[in-house]
Amino acid sequence: MATLKEKLYEKILIERPKIQELLKNHGDTVIDEVRVSQVIGGMRGIKSLVTDISYLDPEEGIRFRGYTIPEVFELLPKPDCCEMPLVEGFYYLLLTGDIPNTEQVEQIADEFSKRKHVPWYVFDVLRAMPRDTHPMTMFANAILALQRESKFAKKYREGLKREDYGDATYEDSISLLAKLPEIAAYIYRMKYKNNEFIPPDPHMDMAGNFAHMMGVGKPYDDVSRLYFILHSDHESGNVSAHTGHLIASALSDIYYSISGMLNGLAGPLHGLANQEVLRWIQGEMKKYGGVVPSKEKLAEDVWHTLNSGQVIPGFGHAVLRKTDPRYTAQREFCMKHIKNDMLFEYVKLLYDVVPPILREQGKAKNPWPNVDAQSGVLQWHFGVKEYEFYTVLFGMGRAFGVTANIIWDRALGYPLERPKSITTQMISDMVKAK
């Protein structure tokens, strides 16, 4: 049976001529137009990136390699006595587009296991940082410290052939991903649990081992699998994915790219949204003395929030025009495992109250909840109550999607990303000339 690397190489050999043919025969074909509002408005909606890893359909939601979230959860192999698929198998899907069998998942799990040892100097870097350092700063610096391990960087200095860029990037990606659970759990235990570390269990899968090292019991292993899969990839245009792609396009290795990706993810407009949602819900719960209000009373609060110029965190999406399927997947898990949790009672009530109000207000293109509407609530229920750490969990998941994209970028020989800038005066002149 072919290894993941061998299977990936087979797929690459099929795709390379397709890309070459498109460039040779259709390189001048126009596929989009650009408006002034897009140039000034953050390049929103401009079709300028390529990824086959995931696609976000406005009406259908995210598809991973063509599979919907329910299909991913149904088809991928799962550990015994668990509901959620193995993250190792999901990564196989992201890289190849194929649903792996149990043997193939075990194969890549074994590959991860062989590479999960974290060098001593990474822990030295973490311990040298003040304890009040943000965990994302710690996480990004730990990954940056690992850059000395890069096989791509070493081979490039030795004269790596262009067609082998993807292979070396694959090696770096597997090595990095294998180490992320222990690094993240170490940060958590050092920062929040009085340096009481839990050693890894060599017999556990990646997400199960992460839950074990975090010190959180079942079903937190399934929470981790769910969380990593749902946050793995969301096309290439979001800040974290685009940052990773951009850095890698300069032939920076995977360690530089993922560290930079995390710095983008740490921004309040990207990876911090789940924290803001949780804070807002907890504020509402405190206001009502820990009891669930009526729909009518909560609706009054929602209108008051909107009329004061604020938004309802966790609702709306730049692309989606329906309830985020990632929200739905979490909701179904919560209904089974934490249905009587007070915070989740608020989440359920907000789902009934907020969308009709946002539709009536008429400003939101999408009044439905997104992935952040309850992800923090889920973490809080199982005892991970340190808000700042949630973005680290997001980053662990996003690393799977971004590394998969970068491997393919390198394998297909995508060039340095370098869009052209123009001045405001030039835009004004163009508009006047129309």
Active site residues: 270, 317, 372
Instruction: Pull the structure tokens for residue 198.
Output: 């839990």
Place of tokens 């269990």: 201
Among residues 232, 197, 205, the alpha carbon closest in space to that of 72 is found at: 232
Where are the extended beta strands (E) located within 10-147? 54-57, 61-64, 67-68
Query: Could you count the other beta carbons within 10 Å of the beta carbon of residue 141?
Result: 18
Query: How far is the C-alpha of 100 from the C-alpha of 89, rounded, in Å?
Result: 6
> Is 149 in contact with 365 (CB distance < 8 Å)?
no
Tell me phi and psi for residue 246, to 5 degrees.
Answer: -60, -45
Query: How far is the C-alpha of 133 from the C-alpha of 116, rounded, in Å?
Result: 25
3-state secondary structure of 250: coil
For residue 219, say if its preceding peptide bond is cis, omega within 30 degrees of 0. yes
Residue 170's Cα: distance from chain center in Å? Answer: 19
Query: How far is the C-alpha of 207 from the C-alpha of 64, rounded, in Å?
Result: 19
Place of tokens 């996003």: 398
Query: How far is the C-alpha of 411 from the C-alpha of 401, rounded, in Å?
Result: 16
**CA geometry: angle 99, 102, 107, nearest 5 deg:** 95
DSSP-derived pairing of the beta strands 61-64 and 54-57: antiparallel
Query: How far is the C-alpha of 206 from the C-alpha of 357, rounded, in Å?
Result: 42
**Amino acid code (one letter) for 221:** D
Q: For the chain, how far is it from start to end, CA to CA, in angstroms?
A: 61
* Phi-psi domain of 197 (left: phi exceeds 0; alpha: psi -120 through 50; beta: other): beta
